[in-house]
Copies of this chain bind each other. A is one copy, B any other.
Amino acid sequence: MTPASIAPDGSVHSIPSADAIQLDLEACRAISGEYRAGGRKTVVVQGLGFVGAAVAAVIAGARDEAGRPLYCVIGTDLATPGSYWKVAKINAGCVPIQSPDPSLDALIAEGVREVGNLRATASEGAYELADVIVVDLPLDVTAWGEAPEAQTEIEIRLGAFEQAIRTIGSRMRPDALVIVETTVPIGVCEKVALPILTRCRRERGIEEPVLLAHAYERVMPGPRYVDSIRSFWRSYSGIDARSAAAAGEFLRTFIDTKQWPLWELADTSSTEMAKLLENSYRAVNIALMQEWTLLAERTGVNLFEVVESVRVRKGTHDNLRYPGFGVGGYCLTKDSLLAQWSASVLLDNGVELGMTLEALRINRKMPLHTLDLAAEAAGGSLAGKRILVAGISYLPEVADTRNTPTEIFVDALLEAGAHPVAFDPYVRFWPERPQIELAESLAEGLANCDGAVLAVPHAAFRNLTAEALLPAGSRLSFVVDAQNVVGDETAASLHRRGIRVAGVGKGHWRKLGY
């Protein structure tokens, strides 16, 4: 029996045999050779997840002044059940992940089907073809156990990353440039990647210093997915001056650096730290608002109005966040952990990022506050209630469900004896929680539930009227607005019809007795 790889959309892709992979490589080699003959380089993107797939597409879309493709681009991922579907999808000319940005579909379709300069393969032989290798691997990070309250050690397993770097080191051309785009703990490029590459190359008789750079990505899966790579700020650094120069030159070929000039930092520790700091900054400011959310609710204050009034102070106070449901995604939930792990393990320098980590703990528990509001609105207990959770993704207008706070929320609902039903216009299949019942539409979900929680500010959930929230035959008894999508007028109207309404950060509703 051939093992299969199943994509999140349910499509099944058989994993090729070693011979088939070899044939695949030959196809890549042919294209690469053709490009090389025309004086054009080959770029291999290692890892075809949310970042790598989009980066490969953008690089394949790079053109010279005459409009000719600059690169042959080969994406690589593993021939495993968990990963191979990404290779198969790209070779079929499709975006492997759910994406709301049509320009990403267009780029991949063009590269694979029209221009023919974009392919994917599971063969490690691809690294032998590369002039530039872009590393877009995920890291395996866990902390604080499963329960939001638990506070165990931070664990980062670099094994897969190290193995991937070893594969590169044992295959790469001597003069190829390796650019790590992955968000890594501070010190990883210098103390982990560099020694591995140097050792693997020495074993092959290559004494020449490797070209190694770090240029962390700021990819934002969403309607501006492609722009978040091509038309956005990018910082980079090299392990030495040659590496930095080579990285800068490469990045300029596919990033709009006229509008978004590159930032070169002094060393790879600086860029590694910059990425972790910018996401920690965000996480801390979300946690700050969570503390003040409770205060505002119990004081009867509309915190959204207060935040708006403070944010007018542009440049000093306009990064203030809003109250909300929770924090998800791949970055904000973990990047501070990478920094602490560096301090505690890799660099062992005794620094404790106490407040920074406290923010992550606060954010992890955030969805439980909405649960408290729901329980209160339900009269004390959620046991036996059918609760519609409107919104699964961790951002509005996005299909991305990684670490979504809705996950923590539905788990807590189950724990409380409730029956969660989820609906998200962007999510037809929820890979992390396949057992949760999904409604076909908001109206269907509302019709059959005792209570509804608006968890994600998708446009489809904004400014709903009381009528829209109460379809005919509804037995809805409460609505919790965790994202400021219900206006005061609708809240008052629901209240008049005997529906209890609560809102995260909306103390004024509480004051009015809603």
A residues touching B (Cβ–Cβ < 8 Å)? 186-187, 233, 235, 263, 265-267, 269-270, 273-274, 277-278, 280-282, 284-285, 287-288, 291-292, 294-296, 298-303, 305-310, 312-313, 315-320, 339, 342-343, 347, 349-356, 358-359, 362, 508
Check if B313 sits within 8 Å of A278, measured CB to CB.
yes
With A274-B306, A319-B317 as contacts: A298 and B347 at CB distance below 8 Å: yes
Check if A288 sits within 8 Å of B298, measured CB to CB.
no
Complex contacts, A508 vs chain B, CB 8 Å = 266
**Taking the nearest CB of chain B, how far is it from the CB of A374, in angstroms?**
19
With A233-B313, A263-B312, A284-B284 as contacts: A306 and B277 at CB distance below 8 Å: yes
Q: Which residue of B lies closest to A310 (CB)?
A: B278
Q: Give the one of A287, A291, A294, A351 with max B CB within 10 A.
A: A291
Check if A265 sits within 8 Å of B306, measured CB to CB.
yes
24 A-B Cβ contacts within 8 A?
Answer: A186-B299, A235-B309, A265-B306, A265-B309, A266-B302, A269-B299, A273-B306, A274-B306, A274-B309, A277-B292, A277-B320, A278-B313, A278-B320, A281-B285, A281-B288, A288-B356, A291-B352, A292-B339, A294-B351, A295-B339, A298-B350, A298-B351, A354-B358, A355-B358
Select one of B298, B303, B315, B359 contacting A319, CB under 8 A: B315
Q: Which residue of B lies closest to A302 (CB)?
A: B266
Check if B269 sits within 8 Å of A301, measured CB to CB.
yes
**Taking the nearest CB of chain B, how far is it from the CB of A115, in angstroms?**
33
Q: Give the one of A233, A267, A319 with max B CB within 10 A.
A: A319
Complex contacts, A235 vs chain B, CB 8 Å = 309
9 A-B pairs with least C-beta separation: A298-B349, A319-B319, A263-B309, A278-B310, A295-B351, A274-B306, A235-B309, A294-B351, A291-B353
How far is A296 from B266 in the complex, measured between Cα atoms in Å?
A: 13
Complex contacts, A306 vs chain B, CB 8 Å = 265, 270, 273-274, 277
Check if B301 sits within 8 Å of A270, measured CB to CB.
yes
How far is A313 from B275 in the complex, measured between Cα atoms in Å?
A: 12
Check if A359 sits within 8 Å of B355, measured CB to CB.
yes
Check if A353 sits within 8 Å of B317, measured CB to CB.
no
With A281-B317, A317-B319 as contacts: A270 and B302 at CB distance below 8 Å: yes
Complex contacts, A187 vs chain B, CB 8 Å = 299
How far is A508 from B266 in the complex, measured between Cα atoms in Å?
A: 9
**Taking the nearest CB of chain B, how far is it from the CB of A427, in angstroms?**
25
Check if A347 sits within 8 Å of B299, measured CB to CB.
yes
Check if B299 sits within 8 Å of A233, measured CB to CB.
no
Complex contacts, A294 vs chain B, CB 8 Å = 351
